[in-house]
Every structure is written in C-alpha cells, then in structure tokens.
Structure 1
C-alpha cells in the first residue's frame, strides 16, 4: 500500500476526527510517509490509526496520538526539540518539519541505526539520533525549547525537567506501565512548573540504561 492521494486524504481525515486540528501539524504529517517507518508483515497497516510492533519489543505510536502530542508541544520554527524514545523515527521525522533542530535519543542501538538510515533517505538533515539513556536527557545540548517523551514515566523525570528552558514545554506520559497512563503537558515558568492533564494513553515504560540489542 502506498501513501497516494487517496490514502493521504483518509489519513488526514482520521487525524482531524481525533482532534488534530493544527494546520502546521497536519501539513507535517502529510509530508511524512508512515509507511517508510513500518516493516515486515505490518506494512499494509501503515496508514491505519493504530500502534504497530517494531523491532526490540517497541511500537510505533498510532498517528492520532503522534498528532495530538505534537500539537500539545506547540513547536515553533525556532525551537530546539529533544525527543526521548526514537523508536522507528516517525515522531522525530514529523517534528523535523516543525522545529529548527531535533535531537532524538533511544536506548536500542538497532533502532537508532534503522532510524538514521530513513532520516538520510528522506533528507532530514536537522535530525540527530543518539543511542543513550533517555531518562537522563541530553545535557550536552541542553537547554531545550521543547521535550517530547514517548515512553511512560512514573513522574516527569527530574533530569528532563532540568533541561527544559524557561517558557519551554514538555509532553510526557505519566503512570504505571501496566495501567492507564495520563499524557501530561509541563510548562516551565519563572516560578517553577505548571502541569496540565491532556488525555489517557498507553505507552511502553521509560527504562534506564542502554538496551542490549
């Protein structure tokens, strides 16, 4: 199945029906072919609004959740963005059309290698992928204007909060990995942090350390 005009139209309709209304986000998601990030037996489901398995026991999030998280992040063209949990690379690719610079961190070397290959094929020169412990952030490049976490933490991680610029926004799923989680929007102010609950979600857990694969 290809991301032809018909598939794009249905894809965008599904996004809008699920609350993704920001034109810049919709334009970015129209430009990024999700099929480039799905492999194996699930390629024919690439444009369905559902999460799909990828290597290393991870998943590629359903498009509507990608859209809603990106929308909540309110990325501007001047922003430097940190993504924790590269996975397939799909979310970082969407962010690349919205931000000045995207740094994405993943604990599985295989996923980073595969994502880098797709970024190169798509000419996404403003995305840099690292194999690292995402729970610790990326101190060498901090502070960040926006931080997006695509794995669930019990609380917004302290190292990531510390790397968020004043006025910056972080979107992160919070909750136990075996129960319903809540997507949280954190805004850093001069006085501290403001927290807004967005919706219920389900993500893989945010783990410390580097994966073995």
Structure 2
C-alpha cells in the first residue's frame, strides 16, 4: 500500500522538504535500529512538514518531537517508526489509533494497513488532521471526535490498537476491543513511562516492555 504516496509528487518539495533531507532522516532511523523496509519507505515519502505549523516546517525531518498546539506533540520520527514496526509484526488489517493529534501517525498507518480508525478528544486538532488526510487522498482513514480512553466500541474488534498518549493505567475498554491474536501498543506511566506491547492469546494478555519513553498524558473529556 506504500505506492499510494507516489501519487503525490507535489508534496516532495524543495529545500527543507527535499528528498535529500528525507533520506538523511531515514539514514538516522536505520542507525537507530529500524529495520522494516515498508515503514522506512513510508516515512521517506510522507510529507511530515505538512503535519506541523509552517513556522516549524524546517524542523519537520529532525529526530525530535514537535508541538502541535493545545499541549500536544507530534512524536519524533523514531518513535513513530518503532511503534509502527511493532504493530506490523502482527500483520493487522484493522487498526485503532488513540490520539489522532496532527494526523501523522494515522497517515503512516494508512499506507501500511487496510483500514485505520483514529479518535481524538480535541476537536480543533481533529479538524486540522482531517484536512491533511483529505489533502493526501488517504481514503482508508476513519476519524472520530471522542474520548480515547473509551476506545471505539462501535467499530471493534481491532487487530491492533496503537495509543499515542500515556495513561497511568490502561483503560479496560482497550483490552476488550482487541481481537483475539491482536496487539495493543501503548506507553504507560506518569513521571516514568514504559512503551509496552500486549498480545492477546486465548483471551489472555501477554505483556512485553519495549523501552522507556516520554509521551503527553492520556486525558479524558470531549474538549
């Protein structure tokens, strides 16, 4: 599904959006241990600069998190790549993302899986993400304005759930909405956070801790 990005050559741009700049980002990701070629290809071609304010565009391909307003951030490329790589190990066709944010992680997923559902509690962020997704013609994305701590029961079950904000405790709804054989990828904790995966096998959850991380907290509330 990576080839859909080739339909948008106008987004390759020049200067800070040049292919050389993107290639340097990919080289860093490889050095950091990212191995999945499909993930690397998507991050190489997807215009990350479209997912931040214009004033921050020159930082778009650096390995750093960037503010997107309302106390939220666009995760650094390494974290996006690593979480996506972990998700693809299960070859999911139906994925739920908790925390649309800028829409970047959602867009990455849409190029690699059949269908993506994504929920966001902050309406202004969701509307910006919706416009970006539309601009890129990513038609397999379904966006919802709702509290991510409840998941999205109306579309469950999901083969994989990816959470882009850290709860102190994992909402039980996410476990319930995960299909048998599915995988939940989530950062958990307060001051100290751990990125973990939970694989659902025979109705039970098998936990594997991946690495310490730092995400914004997962909050409740519609606005």
TM-score normalised to structure 2 length: 0.90
Q: Which runs of 4+ in 1 moved over 6 A?
A: none
Change (3 A) 1:204 1:173: same
From 162, 167, 189, the equivalent of 1:148 is 162
2:21 alignment partner in structure 1: 7
2:201 alignment partner in structure 1: 189
CA shift for structure 1 position 76: 6.3
CA shift for structure 1 position 11: 1.1
Spell out, residue by residue over 1:172-199, the C-alpha distance to the aligned partner (whole angstroms, 9 max, x if none).
00011xx120000010011400000000
Unaligned runs of 5+ in 1: none
Spell out, residue by residue over 1:21-80, the C-alpha distance to the aligned partner (whole angstroms, 9 max, x if none).
111111121221110101042111011000011122100000001001111112666610
1:200 alignment partner in structure 2: 212
The answer on 1:172 being equivalent to 2:186 is yes
Moved more, 49-58 or 66-75: 66-75
Moved more, 189-198 or 26-35: 26-35
The answer on 1:132 being equivalent to 2:141 is no
The count of corresponding residues between Structure 1 and Structure 2 is 209
Structure 1 counterpart SS, 2:187: strand
Residues 29-44 of structure 1: matches in 2 within 5 Å? 29-44=43-58
User: Contact (CA 8 Å) 1:75, 1:146: kept in 2 or not?
Assistant: no
Moved more, 1-10 or 159-168: 1-10
TM-score normalised to structure 1 length: 0.94
Q: Distance in 1 between matches of 2:169 and 2:127?
A: 29
1:24 alignment partner in structure 2: 38
Q: Distance in 1 between matches of 2:129 and 2:112?
A: 18
